[in-house]
């Protein structure tokens, strides 16, 4: 194991191991932490496929790990779960001057920032797509077969990354994703800060725009709670439905009555999402 790849903690869970690692990221120019659930199959030496989980605003690698209840199903299916942080971290990493929750630390939005000072560290797109999988596949008992999922800002990241990297992921799913960030307050704030004023460049990180451009089809499952207070202003799931219909992009977009934006919602349906991914990871 590389000296820059350090096991910080490990606990037994459903016959597997829930681990947290630390490493220095050349992409982000800082030390990063991420969590991994290794199912029993991988713990006895059998490499397994991976579902990458991207978390939302204000979260880190621990939110999904401790709240979603995904390990039981992952153990049964023989799937590893890799849960990165949501942004670069550290004293040298810039943050929003006013400490806003929707920009800066905890709010990397899975883009490669082009604007100073953000561009020195906020390159979460390259970290998720290239550096982290290469590290995980080198150091841990997993295969190169991957799917990706996420929540809210992480749902945006998961869908956008899958659409931009045809063939790298077998399937993608999301809970309450920000599907059209170029046209919602969260996305406009983040994109103008990280990417500058060229709105056309924002479309490279916008799932609705990527599908409209003709992105390659990939199995897609989206769950959205109807009691989510962010639905109409920030998430705009209907925009995803519309563009999928226009482009004949096959997607399962489900509205769940009474559910909100919380991890109670994720915990209620994570088993269905993991079984959806398993159909494609083991196909």
Report the catalytic residues. Answer: 152, 228, 261
- Mapped to the 3 state alphabet, what secondary structure does 222-245 carry? EEEECCCCCHHHHHCHHHHHHHHH
Half-sphere exposure of residue 139, counting CA atoms within 13 Å on the CB side? Answer: 19
Largest separation between any pair of C-alpha atoms in the chain? 51
Residue 4, helix vs strand vs coil: coil
Cis peptide before 229 (omega within 30 of 0): no
Residue 100, helix vs strand vs coil: coil
In whole angstroms, what is the distance from residue 132 CA to residue 136 CA? 6
The residues with which 12 forms a beta bridge, in sequence order, are 17
Q: Yes or no: say if 152 and 261 are a contact pair by the CB < 8 Å rule.
A: yes
Please give the backbone phi and psi of residue 33, each rounded to the nearest 5 degrees, phi first: -115, 145
Cα–chain center distance at 199: 23
- Token pair recorded at residue 141: 């008992």
Beta strand ranges found along the chain (DSSP E): 5-13, 16-25, 30-38, 48-54, 80-84, 142-151, 172-175, 220-225, 252-256
């Amino acid at each position: 194991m590389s000296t820059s790849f350090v096991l910080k903690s490990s606990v037994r869970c459903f016959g597997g191991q829930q681990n947290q690692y630390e490493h220095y990221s050349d992409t982000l120019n800082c030390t990063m932490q991420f969590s991994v659930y290794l199912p029993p199959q991988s713990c006895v030496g059998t490499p397994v496929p991976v579902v990458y989980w991207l978390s939302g605003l204000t979260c880190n690698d621990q939110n999904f790990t401790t709240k979603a209840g995904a390990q039981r199903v992952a153990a049964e299916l023989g799937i590893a779960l890799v849960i990165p942080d949501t942004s670069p971290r550290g004293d040298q990493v810039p943050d929003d001057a006013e400490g806003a929750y929707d920009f800066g630390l905890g709010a990397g939005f899975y883009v490669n920032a082009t604007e100073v000072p953000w561009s020195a560290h906020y390159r979460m797109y390259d970290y998720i797509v290239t550096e982290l999988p290469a590290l995980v596949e080198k150091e841990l008992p997993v295969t190169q077969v991957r799917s990706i999922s996420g929540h809210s800002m992480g749902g945006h990241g998961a869908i956008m990354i899958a659409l931009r990297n045809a063939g790298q992921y077998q399937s993608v799913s999301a809970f309450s994703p920000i599907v059209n960030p170029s046209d919602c307050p969260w996305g406009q704030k983040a994109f103008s800060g990280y990417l500058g004023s060229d709105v056309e460049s924002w479309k490279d990180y916008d799932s609705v725009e990527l599908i409209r451009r003709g992105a390659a089809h990939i199995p897609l499952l989206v769950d959205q709670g109807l009691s989510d207070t962010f639905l109409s202003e920030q998430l705009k799931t209907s925009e995803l439905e519309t563009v999928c219909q226009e482009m004949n992009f096959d997607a399962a977009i489900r509205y769940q009555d009474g559910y909100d934006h919380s991890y109670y919602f994720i915990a209620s349906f994570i088993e269905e999402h993991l079984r959806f991914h398993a159909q494609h990871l083991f196909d």
